[in-house]
């Protein structure tokens, strides 16, 4: 299961996480984002305990979207030990996404 | 309501339409023109033609055959596909409803040869106003394009900001398109796209323009543009399909050069037939 993060909870959910975190910047009106959602849910199940999936709604969390210079959605970040390790823009298949994030 | 709307009238589209028609389905085939194949003069490797045949001849014959068998064929340019319960295919003139859609519009090509173009894709350079427009609320946006597709994107972007500049990149701008543009218009060719982590500037031959975001909608939308907006998976500019030629969007199929593989007439025609059989099965299932 993915977890929703807000500006208030981002530090705790992402930056202080003990496992790597996939952060998905998305919005309800973005069709490719909606199609990426099941891919991320699958990843969170496949890698349960090893990787955490966190979702940030760019409409509600403009501050976070700005902070991470999100200019196209879906944008997916991989955080490890509080640092950005990889960034992937756009909808893609599970395997492609894992490869691009360096998780495969 | 059509059972199937086929976009593209080349070997993949027309073969699919012909097979679909024989399943007694209601089929609409929309084609903009004779496509890439229509510009090919010499084909010597297609089965059963003793002499060299032109691509134009093949496409025209295919369309005539589909028409004779009862397919509705129209010559319009598709600028968007939307998917609610059914599909709505929007052309520059009309809207058509279909239960399924087959994309057979040929190969998508990266369409802007300007320094910095590839570097900024996803970093302020976008191919989809509906996807990314919101991010540029009240910011400076540039739109690159010269036809109906650009106007379609422009209309979406007007919802987010008033500060828009249209760049035609030196391409011809039809009068009826120019009349629709109320924004700043720059018609000279682009030289470079500049920025730091994200796009900041468009450099033209005479001048430079500050932008926060840049939307590309040149010419007519490609198969990739359709896929992007509707949320279908793509890989290296090709649409990803399963063994039944269906994308990850249920009811949306793709065939021919737009899915990659062998970029030949014989493979496109085979794709069309395969897709048609799969679409027929799919329609039976959803009934």
Find chain B residues with C-beta within 8 A of A26's C-beta.
none
pLDDT at B85: 86
Residue B51 clears pLDDT 80, i.e. is over it: yes
The verdict on a CB contact (< 8 Å) between B135 and A73 is yes
Give residues 201 to 220 of B whose Cβ lies within 8 Å of A: 213
Question: What is the three-class DSSP state of A78?
Answer: strand
CA atoms in the 13 A half-sphere facing the CB of B255? 33
pLDDT category at B109 given cuts 50, 70, 90 is confident
Q: Does A37 touch chain B (CB under 8 A)?
A: no
Average pLDDT value over all residues in chain B: 94
pTM for this prediction:
0.90
Distance of alpha carbon B285 from alpha carbon B11, whole angstroms: 27
Interface test with A, best of B226, B230, B231 (most A CBs within 10 A): B231
pLDDT, tens digit, for every residue of B212-249? Answer: 999 999 988 999 999 999 999 999 889 999 999 999 99
Identify which of B198, B215, B216, B233 has the alpha carbon closest to the alpha carbon of residue B134. Answer: B215
Residue B211: CB partners within 8 Å, gap ≥ 6?
Answer: B124, B140, B141, B142, B165, B199, B200, B201, B202
ipTM confidence: 0.84
Is A99 marked active-site? no
Residue B287 clears pLDDT 80, i.e. is over it: no
**CA max distance for chain B:** 62
Identify which of B255, B239, B232 has the alpha carbon closest to the alpha carbon of residue B131. Answer: B232
Find chain A residues with C-beta within 8 A of B126's C-beta.
71-72
Which residue among A5, A22, A23, A33 is the active-site one? A33
pLDDT category at B130 given cuts 50, 70, 90 is confident
Find chain B residues with C-beta within 8 A of A32's C-beta.
128, 131, 228-229, 231
For B256, other C-beta atoms within 10 Å of its C-beta total 35
pLDDT, tens digit, for every residue of B137-165? Answer: 899 999 999 999 999 999 999 999 999 99
User: CA of B237: which chain A residue's CA is closest?
Assistant: A92
Is A38 marked active-site? no
The verdict on a CB contact (< 8 Å) between A31 and B240 is no
Which residue among A30, A34, A89, A92 is the active-site one? A30
């Amino acid at each position: 299961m993915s977890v929703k993060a807000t500006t208030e909870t981002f530090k705790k959910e992402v930056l202080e996480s003990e496992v790597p975190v996939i952060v998905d910047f998305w919005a309800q009106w973005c069709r490719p984002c909606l199609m990426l959602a099941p891919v991320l849910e699958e990843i969170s199940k496949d890698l349960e305990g090893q990787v955490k999936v966190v979702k940030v709604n760019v409409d509600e969390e403009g501050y976070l979207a700005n902070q991470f210079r999100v200019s196209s959605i879906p944008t997916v970040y991989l955080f490890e030990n509080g640092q950005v390790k990889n960034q992937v823009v756009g909808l893609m298949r599970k395997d492609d996404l894992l490869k691009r994030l360096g998780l495969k | 309501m059509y059972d199937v709307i086929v976009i593209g009238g080349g070997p993949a589209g027309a073969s699919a339409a012909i097979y679909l028609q024989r399943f007694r389905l209601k089929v609409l085939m929309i084609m903009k023109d004779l496509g890439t194949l229509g510009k090919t003069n010499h084909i010597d490797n297609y089965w059963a033609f003793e002499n060299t045949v032109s691509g134009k001849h093949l496409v025209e014959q295919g369309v005539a055959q589909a028409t004779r068998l009862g397919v509705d064929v129209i010559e319009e340019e598709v600028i968007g596909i939307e998917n609610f319960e059914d599909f709505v295919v929007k052309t520059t003139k009309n809207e058509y409803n279909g239960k399924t859609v087959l994309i057979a519009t040929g190969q998508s090509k990266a369409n802007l040869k300007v320094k910095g173009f590839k570097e900024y894709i996803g970093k302020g350079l976008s191919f989809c106003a509906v996807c990314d427009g919101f991010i540029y609320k009240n910011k400076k946006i540039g739109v690159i394009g010269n036809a109906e597709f650009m106007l379609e994107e422009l209309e979406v972007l007007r919802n987010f900001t008033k500060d828009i500049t249209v760049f035609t990149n030196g391409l011809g701008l039809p009068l009826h398109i120019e009349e629709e543009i109320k924004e700043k218009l720059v018609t000279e060719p682009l030289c470079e796209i500049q920025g730091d982590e994200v796009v900041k500037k468009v450099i033209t031959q005479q001048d430079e323009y500050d932008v926060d975001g840049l939307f590309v909608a040149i010419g007519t939308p490609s198969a990739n543009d359709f896929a992007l907006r509707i949320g279908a998976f793509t890989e290296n500019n090709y649409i990803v399909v399963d063994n039944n030629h269906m994308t990850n969007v249920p009811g949306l199929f793709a065939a021919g050069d737009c899915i990659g593989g062998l970029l030949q007439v014989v493979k496109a025609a085979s794709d069309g037939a395969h897709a048609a059989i799969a679409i027929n099965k799919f329609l039976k299932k959803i009934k």
